[in-house]
Amino acid sequence: MVKEAIFDEMHTASGAVRPHYQPYAEWLAETPADSIVEKRNEADTLFRRAGITFAVYGDETGTERLIPFDIVPRIIPALEWDQLQQGLRQRVTALNAFLHDVYHDQEILRAGRIPAEQVLCNVQYRPEMQGIDLPMDVYAHIAGIDLVRAGQGEYYVLEDNLRVPSGVSYMLEDRKAMMRLFPELFARYSVSPVEHYPDLLLETLRSVAPAGVRDPVVVLLTPGAHNSAYFEHAFLAQQMGIELVEGQDLFVDDEIVYMRTTQGPRCVDVIYRRVDDDFLDPLAFRPDSMLGVPGLLTAYRAGRVVISNAIGTGIADDKSTYPYVPEMVRFYLGEEPILQNVPTWILRRDEDLAYVLANLSELVVKEVHGAGGYGMLIGPLATQAEIEAFRLRILADPARYIAQPTLSLSACPTFVEAGLAPRHVDLRPFVLSGRDVTMVPGGLTRVALREGSLVVNSSQGGGTKDTWVLERTAC
- The window from 169-177, 241-249, 393-401, 461-469 that contacts other proteins (CB under 8 A) reads 241-249
Give the residue, chosen from 251, 371, 420, 471, that forms a contact with other proteins under the rule CB under 8 A: 251
Give min distance, CB of 386 to other proteins, in A: 41
- The window from 69-77, 181-189, 262-270, 427-435 that contacts other proteins (CB under 8 A) reads 262-270
Sheet holding 345-346, edge to edge: 345-346, 401-405, 363-367, 376-378
Q: Is 180 in the site for other proteins (CB under 8 A)?
A: no
Q: Is 201 in the site for other proteins (CB under 8 A)?
A: no
Residues forming beta bridges with residue 405, ordered by sequence position = 363
Number of residues that bind other proteins (CB under 8 A): 21
Q: What sign does the CA torsion over 93, 95, 101, 103 have?
A: negative
Give min distance, CB of 294 to other proteins, in A: 8
Q: Is the CB of 138 or the CB of 236 nearer to other proteins?
A: 236
Q: Is the CB of 237 or the CB of 271 nearer to other proteins?
A: 237
DSSP letter for 148, please.
Answer: E
Q: Is 246 in the site for other proteins (CB under 8 A)?
A: yes
Give the residue, chosen from 172, 178, 181, 259, that forms a contact with other proteins under the rule CB under 8 A: 259
Whether the CB-CB separation of 144 and 428 falls below 8 Å is answered with yes
- The window from 54-62, 68-76, 249-257, 272-280 that contacts other proteins (CB under 8 A) reads 249-257
Q: Is 15 in the site for other proteins (CB under 8 A)?
A: no
Give min distance, CB of 120 to other proteins, in A: 35
Grouping H, G, I as helix, E, B as strand and the rest as coil, residue 384 is helix
Give min distance, CB of 225 to other proteins, in A: 6
Show the site string, 139-178: x = touches other proteins by CB under 8 A, - = not.
----------------------------------------
Q: Where on the phi/psi map is residue 15: left (φ > 0), alpha (ψ -120 to 50), or beta?
A: left
Give min distance, CB of 140 to other proteins, in A: 27
Q: How far apart are CA 439 and CA 142, in angstroms?
A: 10
Q: Is 290 in the site for other proteins (CB under 8 A)?
A: no
Q: How far apart are CA 62 and CA 57, in angstroms?
A: 8
DSSP letter for 454, please.
Answer: -
Provide, for the chain, the percentages of residues in helix, strand and coil under a 3-state DSSP scheme, each rounded to the nearest 5.
Answer: 35, 25, 40
| Cis, peptide link before residue 161, omega less than 30° from 0 | no
Give me Rg for the CA atoms of the chain.
Answer: 23
What count of Cα atoms within 13 Å lies in the side-chain half-sphere of residue 179?
A: 13
Q: Is the CB of 228 or the CB of 406 nearer to other proteins?
A: 228
Q: Is 267 in the site for other proteins (CB under 8 A)?
A: no
DSSP letter for 324, please.
Answer: G
Give the residue, chosen from 164, 234, 338, 387, that forms a contact with other proteins under the rule CB under 8 A: 234
Give min distance, CB of 284 to other proteins, in A: 16
DSSP letter for 305, please.
Answer: S
Give the residue, chosen from 262, 383, 384, 473, that forms a contact with other proteins under the rule CB under 8 A: 262
Q: Is 255 in the site for other proteins (CB under 8 A)?
A: no
Residue 369 CA: distances (Å) to CA of 28, 102, 196, 315, 320: 43, 19, 33, 10, 8
Give the residue, chosen from 243, 255, 276, 471, that forms a contact with other proteins under the rule CB under 8 A: 243
Give the residue, chosen from 32, 264, 334, 452, that forms a contact with other proteins under the rule CB under 8 A: 264
Residue 2: CB partners within 8 Å, gap ≥ 6? none
Q: What sign does the CA torsion over 308, 311, 314, 316 have?
A: negative
Whether the CB-CB separation of 129 and 103 falls below 8 Å is answered with yes
Give the residue, chosen from 86, 130, 261, 340, that forms a contact with other proteins under the rule CB under 8 A: 261
Q: Is 253 in the site for other proteins (CB under 8 A)?
A: yes
Q: How far apart are CA 287 and CA 280, in angstroms?
A: 10
Angle at CA 429, nearest 5°, toward 142 and 381? 115
Give min distance, CB of 224 to other proteins, in A: 8
Q: Is the CB of 293 or the CB of 427 nearer to other proteins?
A: 293
Give the residue, chosen from 260, 435, 450, 472, that forms a contact with other proteins under the rule CB under 8 A: 260
Q: Is 305 in the site for other proteins (CB under 8 A)?
A: no
Give min distance, CB of 233 to other proteins, in A: 9
Whether the CB-CB separation of 405 and 340 falls below 8 Å is answered with no
Give the residue, chosen from 61, 263, 384, 473, that forms a contact with other proteins under the rule CB under 8 A: 263
Q: Is the CB of 27 or the CB of 251 nearer to other proteins?
A: 251
- Where does 150-295 have alpha helices with state H? 168-181, 183-188, 197-207, 230-240
Give min distance, CB of 226 to other proteins, in A: 11
Selection from 306, 303, 308 nearest residue 269 by Cα: 306
- The window from 149-157, 195-203, 239-247, 367-375 that contacts other proteins (CB under 8 A) reads 239-247
Whether the CB-CB separation of 329 and 336 falls below 8 Å is answered with yes
Q: Is the CB of 156 or the CB of 258 nearer to other proteins?
A: 258
Interface residues toward other proteins, by CB under 8 A: 225, 234, 237-238, 243-246, 248-249, 251, 253, 258-265, 294
